[in-house]
A = this chain, B = another copy of it.
Amino acid sequence: MARILVVNPNSSRDVTASIDRNLDPVRASMSVDIDCMTLAGAPDAIESQADIEAVVQPLVALMQANPAEAYVTACFSDPGLALAREVLQAPVVGIAESAMLMALGLGYRFGIIAILDVSVRRHLRYVRSLGLEGRLAGDRPINLGVHESGDNSAVERILEVGKTLRDVDGADVLILGCTGMAHRRELIEKELGLPVIDPTQAAVVRAAGLISLGYRRAA
């Protein structure tokens, strides 16, 4: 059975465990092995550009050392994507780009719940680099770090930002802009009545599709 390697590029085993649990529905319905690894030695959270640059080369090295039929970089800043695609002989997909591609098919205008102000600025450039700005409703931060975003105390703030994206910006599908809060998908869908995307789920499902159809490279 083909294997998808999901790498959490921060060093938090808790985040990896959460990512891993969120992928159980995919395991149940697709004939593919899904392994999640933590990038030992990486920053505990990826929030700054320095964090991003620090993981690019180790992340790709880890992938090279653990061959799979497809690779997922499980951080919403999609670190190392260009390098991984250059050196690996199998599809590599980022979770942010995968979330956006899935959002295009679940609603007409997507909203992104970001963690920090600085993330929003990075997202805007990224969305535009993909030519998808016409489908972006809005991108708003909860102003919490990676780990805080997963705490119970963050739920209220996430819902508040989600409501603004829905009611002020006109989003009809929401993307959770950090793996830290991805386990809230079900709750947010129920509270806000919109489809919500866990980017790692979107990436793994996309990777499985690419494997299924025999594509050797993502882009």
Contacts and interface: CB of A to CB of B under 8 A. Distances in A.
Is chain A's binding surface mostly helix, strand, loop or mixed? helix
A106 B210 CA distance: 9
B217 A195 contact: yes
A20 interface: no
B172 A219 contact: yes
A109 B139 CA distance: 14
Give the interface centre of A26, A209, A217 by most chain B CB atoms within 10 Å: A209
Nearest to A131: B134
Contacts of A132: 131
A128 interface: yes
Interface string A30-68: 111000000000000000111011101100000000000
Contact of A214 (B25, B30, B107): B25
A192 to B, nearest CB: 14
Given A105-B206, A213-B26, A83 B131 contact: no
Bin the interface of chain A by size. 35 or more
Contacts of A101: 101, 104-105
B105 A218 contact: yes
A85 B106 CA distance: 12
Contact of A30 (B85, B121, B130, B208): B208
Nearest to A80: B53
A153 interface: no
Interface string A172-183: 110000000000
A129 interface: yes
Given A30-B31, A208-B30, A217-B195, A121 B104 contact: no
Nearest to A216: B195
Contacts of A198: 213
B205 A213 contact: yes
A103 to B, nearest CB: 9
Q: Top 7 closest A-B pairs, CB basis?
A: A131-B134, A129-B129, A205-B209, A29-B212, A49-B86, A125-B129, A49-B82
